[in-house]
Amino acid sequence: MSLKELIFKTRSHRRFDETYRIDAKTIESLIDLARLSPSGANRQPLKYIYYNSVSDCEKVFPYLAWAGYLTDWPGPDKGERPTAYIIILGDRSVSDIFGVDHGIAAQSIMLGTTEAGLGGCIIGSIKREELGNELSIPDNLEILLILAIGKTVENVIVEEVKNNDVKYWRDNDKNHHVPKRSLAELIIKTK
């Protein structure tokens, strides 16, 4: 698969086959992709905690917000929830600043999920303090992003932005539509 195909297939997926479990080895190989990715001044201040058991995934789920634009959808129902979570943490004992390291790491991992036949979603809307308490995350580790992963059952359709409306939406057949701006809109020509 070319990189463009891989990136094109790496959409945000929010509904999964919850019977499909993901083993630790697969998850650690995904984190290894982040490990080998760039880090500002090569500081490498990111740490990772992952969960893949049924009971641990149930602990994480309530602290996440899902798909802000789908206002009548509170998130995946039981049976369609993620079967693994990777929490990307910033280790303050290593650095006070994390720059965009976690964005770089998240993209490497999400591309890896696609290559592994999985899918997922980068989640930034997190009840951080409550989740940190629930999971007893050490104080020096700041929750930056959570990657929700599973065997996707969602069909995602990329389409062009119309009328400057970037809100994703779901049709009656549960297809998830994602409007993307055109390349012509993104590239600024000076002079």
Contact residues toward its own copies (CB under 8 A) are 2-4, 6-8, 10, 12, 28-29, 31-38, 40-44, 46-50, 68-69, 89, 99-104, 106-108, 110-112, 115, 122, 124, 135-138, 141, 145, 158, 161, 166-168, 178-181, 183, 186-191
**Minimum distance, C-beta of residue 19 to its own copies, in the bound complex (Å):** 25
Residue 60 tokens, joined? 């994480």
In one-letter notation, the amino acid at residue 70 is: L
Question: 80-111 burial, b for 16+ CB within 10 Å, e for fewer?
Answer: bbbbbbbbbbbbeeebeebeebbebbbbbbbb
Q: With respect to its own copies, which residue has the nearer C-beta, 33 or 153?
A: 33
Q: With respect to its own copies, which residue has the nearer C-beta, 79 or 93?
A: 93
Q: With respect to its own copies, which residue has the nearer C-beta, 172 or 190?
A: 190
**Minimum distance, C-beta of residue 176 to its own copies, in the bound complex (Å):** 11
Q: Which residues pair with 141 in a beta bridge?
A: 91
